[in-house]
Structure 1
Amino acid sequence: MPVALYRRIADDIRRRIAAGEWSPGQPLPSRAELAAAYHVHEQTMRLTYDLLRRTGVLEGEERKRVIVAHPPAVRTLTDLDAPWPYTCDVTDTRPQPATEELAERLGVPVRTMLQHEAVECLDPGGLSGMLANTWWQGRRRGHATFTAELETVRLTQEQAHALGLLVDTLAYRVARTRLDTHGTPVETSDLFLPMDRWRIRLKG
Structure 2
Amino acid sequence: MPSEVPPYQQISDDLRRRVTEGEWGPGERLPSRAQLALAYGVGANVLQRAQERLITEGLLEGRAGSGTYVRTPTERSRMVRTRHGERRGDSPFRADLRERGRTGSWESNSYVRTPAPEHVAARLGIAPGELTVRTCYEFLVDGRPAQLAESWEPMAVTGGTPVLMPEFGPLAGRGVVERMASIGVVVDFAVEVPRPGRATADQANLLGISTGDLVTLVERTYFDPDGRAVETADIVIPDTLWEIAYEFPVERR
TM-score (normalised: structure 1): 0.75
Counting only pairs closer than 5 Å after superposition, residues 37-186 of structure 1 correspond to structure 2 as 37-60=39-62, 65-79=67-81, 82-83=92-93, 85=97, 90=107, 93-94=110-111, 96-121=114-139, 126=144, 129-136=146-153, 137=155, 138=159, 139=164, 140=166, 142-143=176-177, 144=187, 145-153=189-197, 155-163=199-207, 164-166=209-211, 171-179=215-223, 184-186=228-230
Q: Which has the larger radius of gyration?
A: 2
* SS across alignment from 1:193: strand
Q: Given the superposition, is the C-alpha separation of residues 154 and 59 from structure 1 closer, same or farther in structure 2, using an over 3 Å criterion?
A: closer
**More helix by percentage:** 2
Q: Given the superposition, is the C-alpha separation of residues 94 and 49 from structure 1 closer, same or farther in structure 2, using an over 3 Å criterion?
A: farther
Q: Which residue identity does 2:149 align to in structure 1?
A: A
* SS across alignment from 2:135: strand
Contact 2:221 2:233 (C-alpha < 8 Å) held by counterparts = yes
Q: What residue number does 1:35 align with?
A: 37
- Which has the higher mean CA deviation after the structures are superposed, 136-145 or 102-111? 136-145
Q: CA deviation at 1:88?
A: 5.5
Contact 1:117 1:135 (C-alpha < 8 Å) held by counterparts = yes
Q: Given the superposition, is the C-alpha separation of residues 49 and 190 from structure 1 closer, same or farther in structure 2, using an over 3 Å criterion?
A: same
Distance 2:66 2:105 in 1: 25
Contact 2:198 2:211 (C-alpha < 8 Å) held by counterparts = no
Q: CA RMSD in A?
A: 3.4
Runs of 5+ consecutive residues of structure 1 not aligned to the other structure: none
* SS across alignment from 1:60: strand
Report Cα offsets for 1:122-163 as digits up to 9, x if no partner: 56695x543322222441373144221223345555335545
TM-score (normalised: structure 2): 0.63
1:9 to 11, 15, 19: 11
Aligned residues: 202
Q: Percent identity between the aligned chains?
A: 31
